[in-house]
Amino acid sequence: MQLLDGKLLSENIKMELAAEVDQIRLKGGKIPHLAAVLVGENPASQVYVSSKIKSCEQVGFKSTLVRRPADIGEAELLDIVYGLNNDPDIDGFIVQLPLPKHISEEKITLAIDHRKDVDGFHPVNFGRMAQGMPAFLPATPFGIMEMLRRHNIETSGKHCVVLGRSNIVGTPMALLLSRKGYPGDCTVTLTHSRTRDLAAEVRRADIVVAAIGIPQFVKADWVRDGAVVIDVGINRIADATRKSGSRLVGDVDFDAVAPKCSHITPVPGGVGLMTVTALLMNTLKACRKEIYG
């Protein structure tokens, strides 16, 4: 079994990005600039945003954090989005989800200029991705594709079972893996909460991508010997042996499943770190105008 080490891989990619920034600086070019909008005090969102900002600093990108209280009005948040759309120094930005209930996430996502949508959530980017056109890919699936590619994991003709059909992970993952080219050319089954016999579906998989948000849900007897298992889940469970009283686990019962796999991602230290790195890769693409010219 080989561990797909997201920490090591993301550090390597960050070194490549830092080297690119050095080159840009030498040539007097524009330094990539990512902005993040954080609304409210959601603890997970605060952790995610601060890790995005910290990662920008590590590779030499400029970053801007826009923080607003949870009671910000929708119109005011839209104004912030329009301001970032029109700021020529900002190459890309994200509005961290989830947003407070009184704000429409759909409205905010649609208001983001798709040329700066480095999260890849705007329907223009999603549609372009689905048609195989150049697009900002959603960061988590992009990070997973990069992980498969950089580990030379064979995907052509493989049967991939994706668990979960969210717009940000499951559905784009299924699309990307079924697309022509490498990594891709898989035969994909997209499963969800209404799937009749999930265990039977997973047993047929050469590649499993679990993104449902239920701790340690995927069991060892569901997984075929030699399967590649990508665990996207980030779930906090109680653990009295830890000082904090809790720990993070994925959607896969790691200890039982890992011995059966050819490759598996750990949680933490797997997909999560690659997600942040993919966001940086998208920001560089935005700065270089690689997608939209």
- Residue range at the interface with ligand NAD (CB under 6 A); choices 109-117, 147-155, 193-201, 239-247: 193-201
User: Shortest approach of ligand NAD to residue 27 CB, angstroms?
Assistant: 33
Question: Looking at beta carbons only, is 21 or 49 nearer to ligand NAD?
Answer: 49
Q: What is the CA radius of gyration of the chain?
A: 19
Q: Is 52 a catalytic residue?
A: yes
Residue type, 30: K
Report in angstroms how near the CB of residue 248 gets to ligand NAD at its nearest: 10
Long-range contacts of 15-20 (CB under 8 A, 24+ apart): 17/59, 17/61, 17/280, 17/281, 17/284, 18/58, 18/59, 18/60, 20/284
Phi-psi region of 21 (alpha: psi -120 to 50; beta: other; left: phi over 0): alpha
Q: How far apart are CA 280 and CA 61, in angstroms?
A: 9
**Catalytic one of 96, 116, 117, 216:** 96
CB of 208 to ligand NAD, least distance (A): 12
Taking alpha carbons only, the member of 28, 34, 36 closest to residue 56 is 34
Q: How far is the CB of 271 from ligand NAD (least distance, A)?
A: 4
Residue 260 sits at φ, ψ, to 5 deg, of -85, -15
Out of 52, 62, 158, 285, pick the active-site residue: 52
Among residue numbers 204 through 223, which ones bind ligand NAD (CB under 6 A)?
Answer: 211-214
* Span 29-48, contacts to ligand NAD by CB under 6 A: none
In the chain, the amino acid numbered 39 is V
Number of chain residues interacting with ligand NAD (CB under 6 A): 24
Query: Can you tell me the distance from the alpha carbon of 192 to that of 194, in angstroms, rounded to the nearest whole number?
Result: 5
Residues 163 to 192 in contact with ligand NAD, rule: CB under 6 A:
163-166, 168-170, 191-192
Asked if the bond preceding 183 is cis, omega within 30° of 0, the reply is yes
Query: Known catalytic residue: 96?
Result: yes
Structure tokens, 278: 């993919």
- Residue 126-165 contact track with ligand NAD, rule CB under 6 A, x = bound: --------------x----------------------xxx
List residues bridging with 228 in a β-sheet. 207, 263
Per-residue binder mask for ligand NAD (CB under 6 A), 259-278, x = binder: ------------xx--x---
- Among 12, 23, 193, 246, contact with ligand NAD (rule: CB under 6 A): 193
Q: Name the minimum Å distance from CB 250 to ligand NAD.
A: 8
Within 66-95, which residues bind ligand NAD (CB under 6 A)?
none
Q: Is 239 among the catalytic positions?
A: no
The tally of CA atoms less than 13 A away on the side-chain side of residue 121 is 22
The pairing of beta strand 159-163 with beta strand 187-191? parallel
- Smallest separation, CB 92 to ligand NAD (Å): 17
Residues that bind ligand NAD in the complex, under the rule CB under 6 A: 140, 163-166, 168-170, 191-193, 195, 198, 211-214, 232-235, 271-272, 275
Residues with catalytic function: 52, 96, 119
